[in-house]
């Protein structure tokens, strides 16, 4: 059993494996009392006045596990694993540096936004931002929601937003995740390709030095999304989480 779990974990793509692993490790350490959760969340005052610079990082991976939030946490891990893996092995296959840069850009955008909005945890928003990017790059694929409802992937983030607003109210934090995902998609794909604009984002060379592309792949981003290259793929059907809510 342990060997099977180890083999499965090692089969996860590199960037997703680290993200997933840390998203399991930090919440468990906090749950068992090995760390005070207060030291792991994003707060402006200790970050600025006490120079606790680890907070933007730990706020990405930490989630407060409790009897009431445990199911939501497992759903987060499910969405994280599925959508991050699909992006890393799909659009970003053989280009780990480009995928890591996408995550860094979304993370930095969320840190700034959440500090202004006084939001202490980034896990939900980061996962939704990645989900949004995948949905835009595979916008014509058919996804399945609760009760067998089916629609194009580009509508999935908004369906999740509406579903969460009905179930738990609010929805402001979900909108932030969608906006950050859209900002990345617009600057990296939409504006350069559809509007002929300049490319504002590019992966730093230092990331290529540590995470070189696989042989035969091209660095950078000017590659059209796969859904536009292969419109026939729109007939593929997937069930994405059976319609569970992404937020708590």
> What pLDDT was estimated at residue 57?
97
Between the CA of residue 242 and those of 65, 109, 147, 184, 246, what are the distances in Å? 22, 29, 8, 27, 11
Q: Which residues of the chain have pLDDT under 70?
A: 146, 167-170, 216-248
Q: Report the distance separating Cα 234 and Cα 236, nearest Å.
A: 5
For residue range 62-108, list pLDDT tens digits in order. Answer: 999 988 888 889 988 988 999 999 999 999 999 999 999 999 999 99
> What pLDDT was estimated at residue 27?
95
Q: Report the distance separating Cα 124 and Cα 73, nearest Å.
A: 9
Q: Beta-strand (E) ranges in the chain? A: 142-144, 150-152, 237-239
Q: pTM value?
A: 0.84
> What pLDDT was estimated at residue 218?
59
> What pLDDT was estimated at residue 79?
87
144 φ/ψ angles, rounded to the nearest 5 degrees: -115, 135
> What pLDDT was estimated at residue 29?
93
Q: Are 155 and 102 in contact (CB under 8 A)?
A: no
């Amino acid at each position: 059993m342990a060997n099977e779990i180890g083999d499965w974990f090692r089969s996860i793509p590199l960037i997703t494996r680290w993200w997933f692993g840390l998203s399991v490790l930090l919440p468990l350490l906090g749950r068992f009392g090995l760390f005070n959760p207060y030291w792991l969340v994003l707060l402006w005052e200790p970050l600025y006045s006490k120079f606790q610079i680890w907070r933007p990082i730990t706020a990405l991976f930490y989630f407060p596990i409790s009897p009431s939030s445990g199911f939501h946490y497992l759903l987060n891990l499910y969405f994280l694993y599925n959508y991050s893996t699909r992006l890393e092995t799909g659009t970003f296959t053989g280009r780990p540096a480009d995928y890591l840069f996408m995550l860094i850009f979304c993370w930095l955008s969320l840190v700034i936004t959440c500090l202004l909005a006084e939001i202490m945890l980034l896990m939900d928003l980061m996962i939704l931002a990645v989900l949004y990017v995948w949905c835009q790059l595979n916008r014509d694929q058919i996804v399945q929601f609760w009760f067998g409802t089916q629609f194009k992937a580009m509508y999935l983030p908004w369906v999740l937003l509406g579903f969460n607003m009905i179930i738990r109210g609010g929805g402001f934090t979900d909108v932030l995740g969608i906006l950050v995902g859209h900002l990345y998609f617009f600057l990296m794909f939409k504006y350069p390709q559809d509007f002929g604009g300049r490319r504002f984002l590019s992966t730093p060379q230092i990331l290529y030095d540590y995470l070189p592309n696989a042989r035969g792949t091209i660095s950078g981003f000017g590659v059209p999304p796969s859904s536009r290259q292969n419109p026939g793929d729109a007939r593929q059907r997937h069930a994405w989480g059976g319609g569970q809510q992404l937020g708590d």
